[in-house]
Structure 1
Amino acid sequence: MAREFDPAFYKRLSSGLVLIVLALAGLWTGGWAFDLLVVAAVACMAYEYGRIVARLRGRTGLNEWAVLATAGAMVLGLVGLYRGGLSEGLALAGLVALGTVFLRALFGRTDGNRAGFGALYIAVPCLVIIDLRLVEPQGFSIVLWMFAVIWTTDTMAYLVGRTLGGPKVAPSISPGKTWSGCVGGAVGGVLAGALVALGTHGTPGIAALAALFVSVAGQAGDLFESRLKRVAGLKDSGNLIPGHGGALDRLDAVLFAAPVTALFVHLLGPDVLT
Structure 2
Amino acid sequence: MLRTRVLTAVVGIPLFLVALWAPGGWLFAGVCSLLAGVGILEFRSVYSEREGHRYHLNPVLLVWGASLPLLTRLFPDMALHESLLPVLGASFLWELARAWRQGVAPIVPNLSYALFGALYIGWLMSFAVRLRNDFTPQTMYELPIEQGVLWVVWLMAMLWTGDSGAYFAGKLIGKRKIAPSISPAKTVEGSVANLILCALVGYGVGLAVGVSAPVAIATGLGVGVLGQLGDLFESALKRAVGVKDFGGILPGHGGVLDRFDSLLFSAPFVWWVVAYWV
User: What is the TM-score of this pair, normalised by structure 1?
Assistant: 0.86
- The answer for unaligned runs of 5 or more in structure 1 is 1-7, 270-274
Which deviates the most, 90-99 or 69-78? 90-99
Q: 1:109 aligns with which of 106, 110, 135?
A: 106
Which deviates the most, 88-97 or 35-44? 88-97
Q: CA deviation at 1:180?
A: 0.5
Aligned twin of 1:267: 276
Measure the CA separation in 2 of the matches of 1:161 and 1:16. 19
Q: CA deviation at 1:202?
A: 2.7
Aligned twin of 2:65: 73
Is 1:196 aligned with 2:190? Answer: no
1:1-274 equivalent positions in 2, closer than 5 A: 8-30=1-23, 31-58=25-52, 64-65=56-57, 67-82=59-74, 87-89=76-78, 92-100=81-89, 102-103=91-92, 104=94, 108-110=105-107, 111=109, 112-137=111-136, 138-269=147-278
Measure the CA separation in 2 of the matches of 1:58 and 1:102. 24
AA aligned opposite 1:96: L
Which deviates the most, 25-34 or 69-78? 69-78
Assess if the C-alpha contact under 8 Å between 2:62 and 2:115 holds in 1.
no
Assess if the C-alpha contact under 8 Å between 1:47 and 1:66 holds in 2.
no
Gap change, CA 1:53 and 1:199, over 3 Å in 2: same
Which deviates the most, 22-31 or 230-239? 22-31
Assess if the C-alpha contact under 8 Å between 2:62 and 2:118 holds in 1.
no
Measure the CA separation in 2 of the matches of 1:98 and 1:244. 33
Which deviates the most, 176-185 or 19-28? 19-28
Q: CA deviation at 1:92?
A: 4.5
Q: CA deviation at 1:90?
A: 7.5
Assess if the C-alpha contact under 8 Å between 2:19 and 2:31 holds in 1.
yes
Q: CA deviation at 1:118?
A: 1.5
Assess if the C-alpha contact under 8 Å between 2:72 and 2:78 holds in 1.
no
Assess if the C-alpha contact under 8 Å between 1:46 and 1:66 holds in 2.
no
Cα deviations across residues 148-200 of structure 1 (Å, max 9, x unaligned)?
Answer: 11111111010101111111111111110001001101111111111112323
SS at match of 1:237: coil
CA RMSD in angstroms comes to: 2.2
SS at match of 1:188: helix
Measure the CA separation in 2 of the matches of 1:224 and 1:71. 23
User: What is the TM-score of this pair, normalised by structure 2?
Assistant: 0.84
Measure the CA separation in 1 of the matches of 2:259 and 2:20. 17
SS at match of 2:185: strand
Which deviates the most, 230-239 or 190-199? 190-199
AA aligned opposite 1:73: G
Cα deviations across residues 51-100 of structure 1 (Å, max 9, x unaligned)?
Answer: 221233436xx8531745542223323313415xxx42485443234433
Assess if the C-alpha contact under 8 Å between 1:198 and 1:204 holds in 2.
yes
Assess if the C-alpha contact under 8 Å between 1:77 and 1:123 holds in 2.
yes
- The answer for unaligned runs of 5 or more in structure 2 is 100-104, 137-146
Aligned length: 257
Measure the CA separation in 1 of the matches of 2:171 and 2:206. 29
Measure the CA separation in 2 of the matches of 1:266 and 1:90. 15
